[in-house]
A and B are shown apart, each in its own frame.
Chain A
Amino acid sequence: MKKERLVLIGNGMAGMYTIEEILKQEPDRFEITVFGKEPHPNYNRILLSSVLQGDSELEDIVLNDYDWYEEHNITLHAGDEVTRIDTTNKQVESAGGIVCAYDHLIVATGSNPFMPPIPGSDKEGVISFRDIKDTETMIEASKKYEKAAVIGGGLLGLEAARGLLNLNMETEVIHIQDQLMERQLDPNASKMLKRELEGQGMRFHMEKQTEQIFGRKRVQGLHFKDGESLYADLIVIAVGIRPNIKLAENSGIETNRAIVVNDFLETSAPDVYAVGECAEHNGIAYGLVAPLYEQGKILAARLVSKEPAGAGYQGSLTSTKLKVSGVDVFSAGEFGEADDLKSVLVHDDFDGVYKKVNIRDNKVVGAVLFGDTSDSPKLLNLINKKEDISDVGKGLILPSESNAPVESPVADMADEETVCGCNGVCKGDIVSAINDKGLTSVNEIKQHTNASRSCGGCKPLVSDLLNATLGDEASGAEVEPLCGCTDLSHEQVTEEIKTKQLTHTREVMNVLGWKEPEGCSKCRPALNYYLSVSKPKEYEDDYSSRFINERVHANIQNDGTYSVVPRMYGGVTNSEQLRKIADVAEKYEVPLLKMTGGQRIDMLGVKKEDLPSIWGELDMPSGHAYGKSIRTVKTCVGEDFCRFGTQDSIGMGMTIERKYERLNTPHKVKMAVSACPRNCAESGIKDIGIVGLEGHWEMYVGGNGGVDLRGGDLLGKMKSDDELLDSISAFLQYYRESAHYLERTSHWIERVGLDHVKAVVLEDEEARANLIERMEVSLEHKGEDPWKELTYNEKKKQELFEQRKVELV
């Protein structure tokens, strides 16, 4: 029997998804021919944004390569455009001269970017953002030119602008409205988005209408209606899309805004169907991928069953996510204002979080989230289900705002409900992939099913689904690899070091199958640290795996010179130390002497080869100002002199500094002791900050005065000096053993939780005692002062500091 001939016009996302769905059910029934205007196999258009932003390569976004078409006996005419549909004789004609007869025809020609009629928009360097060619043009332009302008502050424009910034172009965004993404966001969210993007380096020109694009052959800039102008070497126009319907229109198929289809994607012509952005259903032409997957499924079913069956297509609820790193935005349904809408609002300008849920007649009808989008799956589910929410609390609507553990929305999803809207993957597909293929991480699910591959918005759902499917096995399933040399996480590596009793960095990389056999500058220092914590007695430091500062025990500066910061316990010094520092500074012509914020003196601009002699002459211990180790203990004046002082802050600070100096830690550890709540030593923003009160000490942990300003959390009140020192030991040791390398206490506490740390360090007496004991062992083996050791070790001095002058003869 002759096969039915199925022809597809448009080798894009909607058309090919439909074909894939058909092949799943009827792999051999049709003889399939595909025409695609673009000279490429079919690819994931939405990932062009990540290609532009440098997160993917073009090869990575191909959905089906040429071999795939061959394997499935599909004839692909790539780079050939269909120019005419003859609905009477049931055949199509292409620009390349091919005439092809069909029994069934799918039109999936997508959209064209809308180019407003601005004079000069035909100049070289003015482009849109739609396909591989546009993306390549932008990447090429960024190599030669510096200034880019994007017209359009919508989703696409902002993604393009972020990409151009990543390509090191100065990027200006021109928007005609007073609000970015006004079609997806309300004014509040929009304002926060703008502020965030400005922080990333985008410059905005709001309420500007472009009147003319000027330049000779190539664009040089644009004039606005209000008389202002802007220079630009590249202009990307992203102001909207128009369904691509010319072909259908010319062939007598009914069109309105787009090609008109019924619930079964049938057009006005017999055996001709339309799907994707070129189709209009119930007056709506969609511009996102989620609807076209739903349409594709229905159309496949229609073609396979020969008859219209079931309820057909009922329209889609769309939601939006902006694919710009560092910005979390979500919007769905009716997000605006209206008299009959009531909203639940969370507006935290300080943390940059905004949540608005719109409710009508006790049903969630729309939402906007900014800054924290973790509730988006739940909300989408509520909007879809139109559930009555009068009995449920806000906790269910915005689970992230309540402390109660909330069941993930995946639990009550049906198998055929879509989890990943971008790639049309439903719950059932994911669950069976997990079970059949034994998948254990979100990453593996992504590779096998495509779920979460595109915008990433469904990752929390996929992760929940993984946990729900695997039960307890899945704990810690999604792992962040330590670095590019391995797939193992920090935890997995430390665990392996322990169980396999590994003892050297090279051994770890070898036994655990590192992809780069010699590692990199990220994993080598981390391994060296983990090994040292695992075996404090035996481990011999691998200093070739240390960053230069820790290798030569000084801080490298931007010109290759070094700084020397000797230790001054508790920030206390005396005339003898000051005299020595002055003498050395003069003798070695140290360019700058400066007080550090850690209450000691920094000698900056020292030549590498002078370091050992300077240390020898100073005869003071290293301040470890360069190390991932205990830095300083700042102290306030305290009870001896200050009229508010309740405790001996200086004495306690010096005791602490002497006890823990030279201890290596995952990242730098800064401490402070103040003698009353006025807190002159700034104990509130230290990794460990102590505040003295009448009769006891308060211990704060996880504070940070740096990039991520964070006030410390009160760990507890310590009734005696000994209890305080024990608590510091237990806390520091737990941090040393369980934090990732290069994770400050502030991030570590956020990750593992303050309550957990309290439970281990203070409440569980056995755990506390063990931590203190292991800390004592580490302190016993922490080694000599490195400056002393290096000053008198001729071999190491030659190896690390010599600068050999060789004469040419």
Chain B
Amino acid sequence: MNSVDKQKEVAVATVDEITVDIPKEVIIEETSIAIFKTKDDTIFALENKCPHKGGPLSQGIVSGEHVFCPLHDWKISLNDGEAQGPDEGCTASYDTRIENNTVYLLLN
């Protein structure tokens, strides 16, 4: 199918290299991306840039499927990058896939 061809996959890390609740920063063609691993080993990926003022989300406190931005404490969903509560804004989120202990990022 065409749509699959258009998507690029990149291996970014092994699952073990990422610590639970301590995000990892990877840079792909100038774009910084934060990779998250939650308690149940689910992997999420968001652009490392808070919708508020660009704070590095890879440096935030991770609580369940949310990350709190280190600069002004916005709460961002790991699922879709949406700001929660009264704040409005969205950060790009990426689909991920795990195969043989390797984390792949799907890019458009």
List A residues at the B interface (Cβ < 8 Å). 54, 516-521, 524-525, 543-549, 551-552, 556, 558, 560, 608, 798-800, 802-806, 808-809
Contacts and interface: CB of A to CB of B under 8 A. Distances in A.
B25 A803 contact: yes
Contacts of A519: 63
A719 B44 CA distance: 60
B90 interface: no
A560 B69 CA distance: 11
A803 B59 contact: no
B22 interface: yes
A165 to B, nearest CB: 15
Nearest to A801: B25
B63 A805 contact: no
13 contacts: A516-B63, A518-B64, A520-B68, A525-B61, A548-B60, A549-B70, A551-B59, A558-B71, A608-B59, A799-B22, A799-B24, A804-B27, A805-B26
Given A545-B61, A560-B56, 10 more contacts: A517-B64, A519-B63, A520-B61, A520-B75, A546-B61, A558-B71, A799-B19, A803-B25, A804-B27, A805-B27
A208 B61 CA distance: 51
Interface in B1-58: 8, 10-13, 17, 19-22, 24-29, 32, 39, 53-56
A520 B63 contact: yes
Contacts of A546: 61
Interface of B: 8, 10-13, 17, 19-22, 24-29, 32, 39, 53-56, 59-64, 68, 70-71, 73, 75, 86, 107
B70 A556 contact: yes
Contacts of A525: 61
A323 to B, nearest CB: 20
Contacts of B60: 521, 548
Contacts of B71: 556, 558
Nearest to A546: B61
A325 to B, nearest CB: 16
Contacts of A54: 86
Contact of A804 (B13, B53, B75): B13
A521 B60 CA distance: 9
A806 B68 contact: no
Contact of A524 (B27, B39, B63, B73): B63
Nearest to A562: B59
A221 to B, nearest CB: 28
A552 B20 contact: no
A547 B61 contact: yes
Q: Does more than half of chain A's interface fall in helix, strand or loop, or is it mixed?
A: mixed
A5 B39 CA distance: 64
A521 B28 contact: no
A521 B61 contact: yes
Contact of B25 (A516, A545, A558, A802): A802
Contacts of A517: 64
A516 B85 CA distance: 14
A806 B20 contact: no
A544 B27 contact: no
Given A516-B64, A545-B61, A560-B56, A808 B29 contact: yes
Contact of B10 (A524, A802, A803, A808): A808
B21 A544 contact: yes
B49 to A, nearest CB: 9
A551 B11 CA distance: 27
A544 B55 contact: no
A806 B32 CA distance: 10
Contacts of B28: 806, 808
A544 B68 contact: no
A808 B8 contact: yes
B22 A552 contact: no
Contacts of B8: 808
A105 B107 CA distance: 71
Given A518-B39, A560-B55, A805-B27, A544 B13 contact: no
B22 A544 contact: yes
Contacts of A545: 61
A748 B67 CA distance: 30
Contacts of B17: 798
Given A548-B59, A799-B22, A521 B27 contact: no
B26 to A, nearest CB: 4
A544 B86 contact: no
A31 B22 CA distance: 65
A373 to B, nearest CB: 29
Contact of A556 (B10, B59, B63): B59
A181 B60 CA distance: 46
Contacts of B39: 518
Contact of A806 (B10, B53, B55, B75): B10
Nearest to B18: A799
Nearest to B88: A143
Give the 10 A-B CB pairs with smallest separation, nearest first: A518-B64, A521-B68, A544-B21, A548-B59, A548-B70, A518-B63, A804-B26, A560-B56, A521-B61, A805-B27
B27 A806 contact: yes
B24 A802 contact: yes
A49 B60 CA distance: 35
A176 B21 CA distance: 58
